[in-house]
Each structure stands twice: as structure tokens, then as C-alpha cells.
Amino acid sequence: MRWLWIATRVGLAAVIFAAGIGAVAAQGSSPLRDQLVGTWIFVSSTSQRDDGSNTWGANAKGQLIFMSNGRFSFQLMRGDRPRYKSNTRMRGSIIENQATSRGTLSYFGTYAVSDDDRTLAFNIESSSFPNFNDTVQKRIITIVGDELRYENPAPSRGTTPTVLAWKRLN
């Protein structure tokens, strides 16, 4: 009788284990587009300024949203941008405006993904960096659990490729 109880428990454990492996495999095999949909919060970037410091600073804030209808919105900002003394956006000093321009990147439009080569194409309609307007920006992406990483082979800083990391918010 004891051997039957043990065999039943071992069999049940094997079924649970196999179901777990299947669930992990199914998650990894879902289309890239489905894995992207949602809101992602900025974690880090390998981008560097000319002096070697991180382009986005220690307290950067960012949000990347992929909608199921194929639209996206991207915002990334340094956390140490100075407040405007005039308290009016249109009356910033040259230095305040320069810090805003250098410390902010945003764009929106539509996106497409390729499961074959794991690429993401941002079809940018408009950007805070005007040279991105009406362009396609390709990224090589990796999604593991709640982390999205992508390599930007041609960053707007005009330097070497950078990697940005994002964490799923929902």
C-alpha cells in the first residue's frame, strides 16, 4: 500500500512539474507584440556623455507604453533638470532650456515587431528631437519576465550603441 501512495505522489509531482515547464515555455513562445503590450518604467541606460557620466543621470524617470492597437508613447527625462526661475515654460533662460533639451527625449507613433530577428521598429510620428520626426528607429529587444531590454544601434547622441532597460508596470 505504501508503494502505491509513493507512486501516486511521485506521479502528481511529475504532472505539476511538467505543467510548470509548459507554462514557462508558453510564455516565452507568445508573440513578441503580445509580450510588449503594457506600461514599462525606465530602469537604466548605458548611454554616456562626453565626460563619461550617464546621459540620463542617477534619478532619471521614464515611461514606455505599448498599446494593443499598435501605438506607443516614449518619455525619458533626467531627474536633475533645473526648475525654471520664471516658473513659466516659455520664459526659460538659455541654460534652463538647454538643460531641458539635453535632459528630455520623448516621441510617439506606431510600432511593429519581428519575432524572427527580435526587432522592434518605432515608426515615429513626432519627437522632442525633431530629427526623429517621420523616421523609423529599429531596436533589438529581449524580454525576460518583467524586464525589457533593447539595444539602440544609432542613438540620437550620435555615439556608440546603447542598451536601455525597462521594468513592466502592468
- pTM value is 0.78
Structural domain including 18 reads 1-30
DSSP 3-68: HHHHHHHHHHHHHHHHHHHHHHHHHHHS-HHHHH-EEEEEEEE--B-TTSSBTT-TT-EEEEEE-T
Provide the residue-wise pLDDT of the chain in tens; the chain has 170 residues: 444 434 444 343 443 334 344 333 434 568 999 999 999 999 999 988 888 888 899 899 999 999 999 999 999 999 999 999 999 989 999 999 999 999 999 999 999 999 999 999 999 999 999 999 999 999 999 999 999 999 988 776 666 788 999 999 98
Does the CA dihedral 53-80-166-34 come out positive or negative?
Answer: negative
- What's the domain count of the chain? 2
- Based on the fold, state whether residues 18 and 59 are members of the same structural domain: no
- Based on the fold, state whether residues 43 and 7 are members of the same structural domain: no
- Based on the fold, state whether residues 66 and 96 are members of the same structural domain: yes
CATH number of 132's domain: 2.40.128.370
Residue whose C-alpha is closest to residue 152's, from 105, 116, 109 = 105
CA dist., res. 84 & res. 61, Å (int): 19
- Based on the fold, state whether residues 19 and 75 are members of the same structural domain: no
- Based on the fold, state whether residues 106 and 38 are members of the same structural domain: yes
